[in-house]
Amino acid sequence: MTPNWKKTAAREMDRARRTLAAAQFLLKGEFLEDATSRAYYAVLHAAKAALGLHQCAPKTHQGTQRMFAKIMVKSGLIEPEYSGIFSEEHDNREFCDYTAHFEMAELDADQVVADAMKFVNRIERYLAEQTTTTDGPGTGEVVREGRAPAYGTKRACPAKRLGRRRKHG
């Protein structure tokens, strides 16, 4: 069954908005680390919404980040600063969620949530621009991360197996 990419993008964007609202709520309650984590997930879902219009569905956080940079930023669809925001939000979440001795300052958490809002708003504008055109993204071949397109056509999503873990040692 072929997914309806526009509906998928809309669902991801709705999830991004709700997650951003949760981040803002947590920030007001001074749950700074949790607000930071929710801010990252708002960015992640917004990025997945944008990629969804290009029929790209990465399976991992890292894959989403890479495909966002490749499809959205390097192609000039979204400004480079948004790839930086995505990366910083990820790093902040990692520190907040996995480092017990790390404490987020209120000023820093305010900025993290503000950056997430900026990211979500930019993706909303992008989606609105794309859905008002009839020949915009979402009309091509369905390709998921790590899978070749059917019928030998060009890839809509130039993903490789980004989620594969390497063995160390």
- Per-position pLDDT tens, the chain of length 169: 467 888 999 999 999 999 999 999 999 999 999 999 999 999 999 999 999 999 999 999 999 999 999 999 999 999 999 999 999 999 999 988 888 877 778 779 999 999 999 999 999 999 999 877 545 554 443 333 433 333 233 444 544 333 334 344 4
**Residue 155: its pLDDT value, please?**
44
**Residue 136: its pLDDT value, please?**
52
H-type alpha helices, 29-148: 32-53, 61-67, 81-98, 106-131
Q: Of 162, 149, 1, nearest to 68 (Cα)?
A: 162
**Residue 151: its pLDDT value, please?**
25
**Residue 141: its pLDDT value, please?**
39
Beta bridge partners of 56: 143
Determine the topology of domain 5-148 in CATH: Four Helix Bundle (Hemerythrin (Met), subunit A) (1.20.120)
| Chain segment 6-16, per-residue pLDDT in tens | 899 999 999 99
Contact (Cβ atoms closer than 8 angstroms) between residue 112 and residue 66: no
pTM of the entire structure? 0.78
**Residue 159: its pLDDT value, please?**
45
For residues 112 and 96, give the distance between their C-alpha atoms in angstroms, rounded to a whole number. Answer: 12
For residues 114 and 20, give the distance between their C-alpha atoms in angstroms, rounded to a whole number. Answer: 10
| Chain segment 102-111, per-residue pLDDT in tens | 777 877 999 9
